[in-house]
A and B are shown apart, each in its own frame.
Chain A
Amino acid sequence: MSTPSTAATTTATSGGAAEDRAVVRSLVSLKLRLLRNGLRRSPGRAAGYLIGTGFGLLFGLSAAAGLVVLHGKEGAADVAAVLTAGLTVCWAAMPLFFFAGDESADPTRLTMLPLRPRALLRGTLLGSLVGPGPLIGLLMLAGAAVAAGRGAASAVVAVLAVPLTLVLLIALTRSVAAANARLLSSRRGKDFAIFGGLLFAVLVQLGNLGVQSSVRSPGESLDLSVLHPYASVVRWIPPVSAIDAVRSAGEGAYPVAALQLALAAGLLVVLLRWWLRSLQDLMVSGDSSTLVETSSVHSGRAARGWRLLPSGRAGTVAQRHLRYAWREPRAKAAIFTGIGMTCVIAALSVVQGWGSVYVIAMGGLMLGLQAGNLFGMDGSGFWMVAATLSTRQDGRDELRGRVSAILAYGGVVLVLLGPVVAAVTGGWADLAPALGLAFAAFGTSIGLGCVISVYAPFALPADGNPMRSAAPGQNGVVMANAFGSMIGVLVGCLPVGALLGFLLVGDHPAWPLLPVGVLYGAAMVLLGIRVAAGGLLKRLPEILATVIER
């Protein structure tokens, strides 16, 4: 086994170029070993990794192919520049969200070893080149270079520019990670990563929306001129400048191309220096647990508001659930994903020309799905519930408390979101029945969620990876849980949907659907709690055994 420790000992005793090489070799093989051992932990994880890599490569390949097709077309170089800019933003942001998932990205783990920062930097840089991520990046950059290039001079510059840009991207992501390592390995940083990852996903969706609405010109062939103003700015910013140097060289502007390459090379030097400084700092400064200040929670002023909750188990549970909705980043992220998805779909519906206020029903469904794995969010903390829950009535109160917390924030969000969606889609006339349908879906998915929470709970991953909603090896349960509830809610809402159809087709006023939907949703919630309460008491140990984080 070639671990860094053997290499480290040799470096400590003598030092010199040969030992540095040994360190670099060890770090690269460490990366490979971590990758391999991670996959070996479960076949499900290995399959997930392979499928993810396959999709990633497919995406990279098709993006590259698309770019190659653009070669020689008007505006192709603009696409290449904008795409490289997007790639850069993604790579810079990556460590902030995926830090917890990649041990080899965490330099704090190596700072105890007597390594020279330069050797550590070289080893990590080379290690980072291993893996599907850089390969996908290489494919896309090569595609961008082909799209931007024209002639032999372009080809020569591209041979230089593409590897330079790739190394730059890796140096960027690693130096950002190293500079923020202390923060990212603290609880606060991990919290931010979970929430930030989803925010980033929503931003990507919004970007996608923007591109869709501006690039797609009806009937005509692809019009890329809208990208030109953006491209003319980003082409001077490294590392985009390196890829754009390919275009400059193709147009015969050799001094410009040289300047653009020099800009990129300059940034690389700056990044490497920054990274080295961060590594040196990490090696001589203390652990985050003693450096990052922990703050207190302020419950003083809010205390009066909490008194409005009923006393007893239901009120206590509702209070804790509401606190968690705000303090537990996974819970908060799930709620905001629901809201964000509804907004994105509403905007998408307008862009694609089928805008409808009934999209708000999606919001009801998404918010109601927060009840789909009530105890999974507790994790192993569920033992505190199990240890105090001894009657059927306790079970009912426990569910009632959790559900009323979801009803409280979900109801408020739906009422606020309704007018927003109506304003965006222009469907004010149908707002009342749409809200009725939304509340019916909300209540139905909560009621169903209670039952599913008891009979098909699943564990969340122990690490804070925001892109994995479930611990490895239980994708089956998660799929059953998610699809079961989706289909169940659709079926459960059929009566309300049928009533809506009847009212609309018969040209009757549709507003009565609002009270009907609210009442229907409430009935479904009560039914769900009733059915789930008995099972909850009987299945306490089974639920606890299932939801412990893995």
Chain B
Amino acid sequence: MEATTPPPAVSIRDLWKRFGAQTAVAGLSLDLPAGSFIGLVGPNGAGKTTTLSMVTGLLRPDHGTVLVHSADVWQDPVAVKSRIGILPEGLRMFERLSGRELLQYNGRLRGLPGPETDRRAEELLAVLDLTGSADKLVADYSTGMRKKIGLAAALLHNPDVLFLDEPFEGVDPVSAQTIRGVLTRYAASGSTVVFSSHVMELVESLCDWVAVVNAGQVVAAGPIDEVRGETSLHQAFLGLVGVREDDGQSLDWLGGGHR
């Protein structure tokens, strides 16, 4: 198996980003294997979103290179942008469009023929259970619906690599199950999914490969069984990022007895 390692889907070398005095990403290097379901985990503020933004060409790094299927994100945007799909966290979409209009707009921007865009949009809307709300403005969507329409927009042009930033954040279990179903199907076809999360159980159940990020650097990366070893991913993660257990001395007034 080791003999014929395919070229990585994404190759990150010595990536840096500073915001003022704060260093968000500090020399991060990582190779993400093609055809894997990859989890990017780390505590809040670890630099996951910043890294994903730089990898997808939305944020210019201070230093470092990113290759997606051997094409440089900053030198060869034509090759990269057509092959990746993005679902960012914390960025809005064009929310004064209806869900259907948003997909039609996205597909046409990506140069898909009109009828083909419409056909794919209808199928995605149906699979993601959005047909009933397709004509409502995205501004009026719930969090789960927003994530789903964002996922649909990211999948519309059938990318090779899909980058999802916290796709399950604030999503109800029903929508989460729908999103999982679509992602699993997409990954099974040999495409690469990279998603960030801080819900370890989710990463454990979905991913076959995981990278742990802390303070802007990779502290562990590899197939999920190697990273977690004998323990659960949750335990392994807490060990890797160095979390101190609270001894419970404070908050002694909390619960039971006197108010």
Contacts and interface: CB of A to CB of B under 8 A. Distances in A.
A213 interface: no
B86 A383 contact: yes
Contact of B109 (A187, A298, A388, A541): A388
Interface centre among A296, A384, A537, A542 (most CB of B within 10 A): A384
A337 interface: no
A36 interface: no
Interface string B76-94: 0110111000101011111
B101 A299 contact: yes
A296 B77 contact: no
B92 A380 contact: yes
Given A296-B98, A381-B95, A541-B57, 11 more contacts: A297-B135, A297-B137, A320-B105, A323-B101, A385-B109, A386-B58, A390-B81, A390-B82, A391-B78, A544-B58, A544-B59
Contacts of B97: 320, 323
Contact of B86 (A295, A298, A378, A387): A387
Contacts of A387: 56-58, 81, 86
Interface centre among B82, B90, B93, B96 (most CB of A within 10 A): B96
Contacts of B78: 390-391
A12 to B, nearest CB: 11
A100 to B, nearest CB: 15
A13 B258 CA distance: 13
Contact of B139 (A187, A388, A537): A187
16 contacts: A13-B259, A187-B139, A294-B136, A294-B137, A294-B140, A297-B98, A297-B137, A312-B108, A312-B111, A313-B111, A381-B94, A384-B109, A384-B153, A390-B78, A541-B59, A545-B59
Interface in B93-135: 93-98, 100-101, 105-106, 108-111, 114, 135
A386 B95 CA distance: 16
B60 interface: yes
A311 B135 CA distance: 22
Interface string A182-211: 000001000000000000000000000000
Interface in A264-320: 294-299, 311-313, 315-317, 319-320
A33 interface: no
Nearest to B60: A541
B108 A316 contact: yes
Interface of B: 56-60, 77-78, 80-82, 86, 88, 90-98, 100-101, 105-106, 108-111, 114, 135-137, 139-140, 153, 259
Given A297-B101, A387-B81, A541-B58, A381 B91 contact: yes
Given A297-B101, A299-B135, A316 B60 contact: no
A328 interface: yes
Contacts of B108: 311-313, 315-316
Most chain B CB atoms below 10 A, which of A312, A324, A388: A388
Kindly list the 4 A-B residue pairs having the minimum CB-CB distance in the complex, ordered from nearest: A296-B135, A294-B140, A316-B108, A390-B77
A385 B57 CA distance: 12
A23 B78 CA distance: 61
Nearest to A386: B58
B60 A381 contact: no
Contact of B114 (A311, A378, A545): A311
A11 B106 CA distance: 54
Contacts of A380: 90-92
Contact-size category for A:
35 or more
Interface in A496-550: 537, 540-542, 544-545, 548
A389 B82 CA distance: 10
A319 B104 CA distance: 11
A107 interface: no
A298 B58 CA distance: 33
A527 to B, nearest CB: 25
A379 interface: yes
Contact of A388 (B81, B88, B100): B81
Contact of B94 (A295, A384, A386): A384
A327 interface: yes
B101 A383 contact: no
A380 B88 CA distance: 10
A152 B111 CA distance: 81
A378 B109 CA distance: 15
Contacts of A312: 108, 111
A433 B110 CA distance: 43
A383 B88 contact: yes
Contacts of A295: 136
Interface in A378-431: 378-381, 383-391
Contact of A381 (B56, B92, B100): B92
B105 A316 contact: yes
A358 to B, nearest CB: 36
A204 B45 CA distance: 48
Contact of A316 (B92, B93, B98, B109): B109
Contacts of A381: 91-95
A348 B25 CA distance: 58
A323 B139 CA distance: 14
Nearest to B56: A387
B135 A383 contact: no
Given A316-B109, A323-B96, A386 B57 contact: yes
A548 B110 CA distance: 23
A384 B105 CA distance: 10
A548 B92 CA distance: 9
Nearest to B78: A390
Nearest to A398: B109
Contacts of B114: 311
A540 B81 CA distance: 13
A296 B88 contact: no
A90 B94 CA distance: 34
Among A327, A380, A390, A548, chain B packs the most CB atoms within 10 A around the CB of A390
B22 to A, nearest CB: 15
B58 A383 contact: yes
Interface in A338-353: none
A378 B95 CA distance: 10
Nearest to A315: B108
A187 B136 CA distance: 13
Contacts of A299: 98, 100-101, 135
Given A187-B140, A299-B135, A387-B86, A378 B81 contact: no
Nearest to B74: A541
Contacts of A297: 98, 101, 135-137
Contacts of A313: 108-109, 111
